[in-house]
Amino acid sequence: MEVIKSWLEPGVDIPDPYRRHLKIVLAPDKRNVPEITFTFAYLYPHSKTDYHKHDRPELIVVLAGRGKSICDGSETDLEPDMALWVLKDEVHQIVNTGDEMMKLATVFVPAFTAKELLDGIIASAERDAGSNSS
């Protein structure tokens, strides 16, 4: 068993308009875990993810903070201890509507590499910079 102290993990800052801090904890190219990708995502107050989809399902667990989920146009209020199972190709977004950091845990099965996941997220933020407001 490997014990991972997530507070010691380095992370990556994603720029506006989708400002957040990501810590990829497990992935094929992070600790040699081929089965899943596991991350912690910290959404800054009043920030959001892009409205996006994946070619595989995603589990999202709200650990702290409040906000809303938008999935295929339908909105759901979020609070701690809620879990979202996002199916392949469902277009979704998480919005931090509060004044505190929102902490999420996410799992992808099958796994993305850390590089695949980060490259897509950063490309989306760079593409939409200046066209959206946080």
What tens digit of pLDDT does each residue of 59-100 get?
999 999 999 999 998 999 999 999 999 999 999 999 999 999
Segments making up each domain of the chain, as ranges: 12-128
Q: Could you confirm whether domain 12-128 is CATH 2.60.120.10?
A: yes
* Separation of alpha carbons 102 and 85, rounded Å: 18
- Contact between 24 and 115 (Cβ < 8 Å): no
Q: Are 9 and 23 in contact (CB under 8 A)?
A: yes
Give residue-wise pLDDT tens across range 20-31: 999 999 999 999
